[in-house]
Amino acid sequence: MPSEYPEETYNLIFTALKHPVRRRILRMLDEKPMTFTEILNSLSVSTGHLNFYLESLGELISKGEDGKYRLSTLGVAALNLLRGVEEPASKKRKRNAPYVKIIYSMIMCLLLLISASYTLMYHERNVSFRYSYMPVNPHPIRIRPKESVTIDYTITYNGTGTAHWSQYSLYAHLDLYPPSNAPEYREWDLASFQIDILGRGVYYQMELYTPSGGLERFYNFTPSSGGSSMSWRVKEPGTYRIIIMNINSTGVMEIKAYFSFIRWYERKPLLYLGYTLLSAGLGFPLILLAEALYKIIKMS
């Protein structure tokens, strides 16, 4: 580099590197010498603009006898200067990329899970109808020590729409239309049973058996006043048997029993959307997180 023209030389280099098209021409000529036509076909510029860019590069390029442009010694130095500026910034972006991906995956996971939770909760907030037998003053049921009482809760789907309750709450019978399972929605039934305990210091157990004889629920209660309840999803029609046992060695147990029934309906598109969002919220961000952690470990 001539010592008598240091300022002009630096000005030439900085002027050439200022424009993105000129920088691209330098990178292209670094790969191989190119003719005017080859450069023109690689760039989205007019012939006049290309002539201007080539003239602006000045001593950074030279034209050989074969008509091809190539980098001069000064052009190679200018390109090395350009790389020295770009590579640290590129490396910094690469170092920060895994951490940005971790933050992005956490935000995405949170948003997807919130959307999934709202969607899955919303579709179950619709009630087709409900039945309940909760008299103001039902007759109490007396259970002797170490004995039990059986209460039958029968649910059938013959379509009569009738409901029968016993005066002493020892049985209930609902006969309904079957739950619908249409393309856009489906219905399902929830049965509930509640008792109020009269008195204090009562140990008791509650068991729920399905129509096929399987044990669905089991509760063991310590002495307390008040009462307890159980709810279950009706998976098959028939008689659900509730057994309440007084496990006290002395003292008669007195209870009042209540029945209730709710038919819910779920909107299937929302249900499927909720499950899709839930799967995406758990799966996709975890993949991004694993990839980012792998890159951090690899860089360390």
Tens of pLDDT along 138-156?
688 899 999 999 999 999 9
Return mean pLDDT, the chain: 80
Read off the pLDDT of residues 242-253 as tens digits, 9 standing for 90 and up.
999 999 888 888
- Rounded CA separation 142/139 (Å): 10
Same domain, 191 and 281: no
Decide if 285 is inside a domain: yes
Same domain, 137 and 237: yes
- Rounded CA separation 241/215 (Å): 10
Q: Does residue 188 have a pLDDT over 80?
A: yes
Nearest to 50 by CA among 64, 62, 35: 35
Helical (H) or strand (E) element with 45: none
pLDDT (0 to 100) of residue 151: 92
Q: Does residue 87 have a pLDDT over 70?
A: no
Same domain, 133 and 246: yes
Same domain, 113 and 134: no
pLDDT class of 121 with cuts at 50, 70, 90: low
pLDDT (0 to 100) of residue 5: 46
**More confident call, 39 vs 8:** 39
pLDDT class of 2 with cuts at 50, 70, 90: very low
Helical (H) or strand (E) element with 5: none
Same domain, 110 and 34: no
Average pLDDT over residues 27-39: 89
Here the tokens at position 250 are 């002395």
pLDDT class of 120 with cuts at 50, 70, 90: low
State the chain's maximal CA–CA distance in angstroms.
Answer: 117
This prediction has a pTM of 0.52
Which residue stretches of the chain are H helix? Answer: 6-18, 20-31, 36-42, 47-57, 73-122, 268-299
Decide if 46 is inside a domain: yes
Read off the pLDDT of residues 200-222 as tens digits, 9 standing for 90 and up.
778 889 999 999 999 999 988 87
- Side by side, the strands of the sheet bearing 171-175 are 162-165, 171-175, 148-156, 238-246, 204-209, 215-221
CATH number at residue 63: 1.10.10.10
Whole-number percent of the chain with pLDDT over 90: 19
Distances (CA, A) of 118 to 77, 107, 115, 128: 60, 17, 5, 20
Phi, psi of 189 (to 5 degrees): -110, 145
- Rounded CA separation 141/136 (Å): 15
Helix (H, G, I), strand (E, B) or coil at 261: strand
Decide if 163 is inside a domain: yes
Q: In this structure, are residues 194 and 233 in contact, taking their beta carbons and an 8 Å threshold?
A: no
Structural domain span for residue 292: 90-123+272-299
CB-CB neighbours of 98 under 10 Å: 20
Helix (H, G, I), strand (E, B) or coil at 39: helix
Same domain, 169 and 241: yes
